[in-house]
Amino acid sequence: MDSPEQKITKTVSRVDASKESMANSRQVIGINFCGPTPLMWRADDLKSVRELGIIGTLVGSLARQPRQNTRLGRPLELLPEEGRLLADMGRAAVIPDSTNEDPEVNPEQVEQYHAGLENSFQEQGALALEDRKATLMRVMTKKHNENSGSQEDSDGAVRDRLEALAHGFSFPRTAMAVQLCTARAGLSHCPEVRRFLAADWPIPRDERSETRFRVFRDLRRQGFYLTSAGKFGGDYLVYPGDPLRFHAYFIVVCISMDESMPLCDVLAIARLGSNVKKTVLLCSSGGSQEDDGEEVVYTSLQWSGMV
Partner 1 sequence: MADQNKTSAKVEFGNELLNPSELFEARTRSHKIPVRGQKDFIPTGSDQQKDRLQQSLDEHWNLVSEERVERLGNLVKAVWIPSDMKVELQSPAGKFWQTMGFSAHGKQCLHPEEALYLMECGNLQVFYQDLPLSIQEGYERFLYSKTMSVQHYQVFGHLKRLGYVVNRFDPSSVPSQYERQLNLPQSLDRSGRLPKRKRSHSPTSRHTGTQEGPTSKRMEEEKDCNREEEDKNPDSLPDLSAPDIDEIQTASYVDPTTSTEGGQGRSWWSKEGSPDPDSELPGQPQSSPRWDFSSIPFPDLGSRSWLPSSLTSPDPCLLPGAVGSVGACDVAPWLQRLNLREVRMSRRECERERDRDRYRRDINQDREVRRCRNWAEYQELQGRRIQRSRRDRPTHLWEGPVTPLHDPAQVTSTGELLDKISVIKSTRLLEGASSLKGSEEWRICFNIYQPDTVAEFKKSAPGKPYSRMCVCSFDGPVPDLWTLKLLAFQSGDVLVTYAVVDHGDISFYSFKDFQIPTDTSF
- Closer residue to partner 1, CB minimum distance, 14 or 245: 245
- Closer residue to partner 1, CB minimum distance, 104 or 146: 104
- Closer residue to partner 1, CB minimum distance, 102 or 290: 102
* Residues 6+ away with beta carbon under 8 Å from 3: none
Binding mask 125-144 for partner 1 (x = CB under 8 A): --xx----------------
Using CB under 8 A, which of the segments 152-160, 185-193, 250-258, 290-298 binds partner 1? 185-193
User: First and final CA of the chain: distance in angstroms?
Assistant: 73
Using CB under 8 A, which residues numbered 252 to 281 contact partner 1?
none
- Tell me how far, at minimum, the Cβ of 59 lies from partner 1, in Å: 5
Give which of 19, 30, 34 is closest to 83, Cα–Cα: 30
Active centre residues (catalytic):
239, 247, 278
**Which of 10, 47, 138, 142 forms a contact with partner 1 (CB under 8 A)?**
47
Q: Lay out the sheet containing 37-40: strands in order across.
A: 57-60, 73-77, 37-40, 29-34, 92-95
Helix axes 107-147, 151-168, angle to 10 degrees: 150
Our finding on whether 102 is near partner 1 (CB under 8 A) is yes
- Closer residue to partner 1, CB minimum distance, 162 or 183: 183
- Tell me how far, at minimum, the Cβ of 100 lies from partner 1, in Å: 10
Using CB under 8 A, which of the segments 84-92, 115-123, 136-144, 214-222 binds partner 1? 115-123
- Tell me how far, at minimum, the Cβ of 233 lies from partner 1, in Å: 10
Look at the alpha carbons of 118, 189, 226, 283 in this order and tell me if their dihedral is positive or negative.
Answer: negative
Our finding on whether 13 is near partner 1 (CB under 8 A) is no
H or E element, residue 226: strand 225-228
Alpha-carbon distance values, 76 to 31, 34, 212, 253 (Å): 10, 12, 20, 24
Our finding on whether 53 is near partner 1 (CB under 8 A) is no
Using CB under 8 A, which of the segments 116-124, 148-156, 255-263, 293-301 binds partner 1? 116-124
| Number of amino acids touching partner 1 (CB under 8 A) | 84
Instruction: Supply φ then ψ for residue 177, to 5 degrees.
Output: -90, 135
Using CB under 8 A, which residues numbered 189 to 248 contact partner 1?
189-190, 228, 230-231, 240-242, 244-247
Using CB under 8 A, which of the segments 143-151, 182-190, 213-221, 281-289 binds partner 1? 182-190
Alpha-carbon distance values, 256 to 144, 175, 211 (Å): 82, 61, 7
Task: Let me know the angle formed at the C-alpha of 171 by 169 and 177, rounded to the nearest 5 degrees.
Answer: 150
Residue 179's Cβ-count burial label (10 Å; 0-12, 13-18, 19+) is exposed
- Tell me how far, at minimum, the Cβ of 259 lies from partner 1, in Å: 18
Q: Answer yes or no: are the C-beta atoms of 40 and 75 closer than 8 Å.
A: yes
Using CB under 8 A, which residues numbered 15 to 44 contact partner 1?
22, 24-25, 27, 32, 34-35, 37, 39, 41-44
Give which of 31, 30, 25, 23 is closest to 9, Cα–Cα: 25
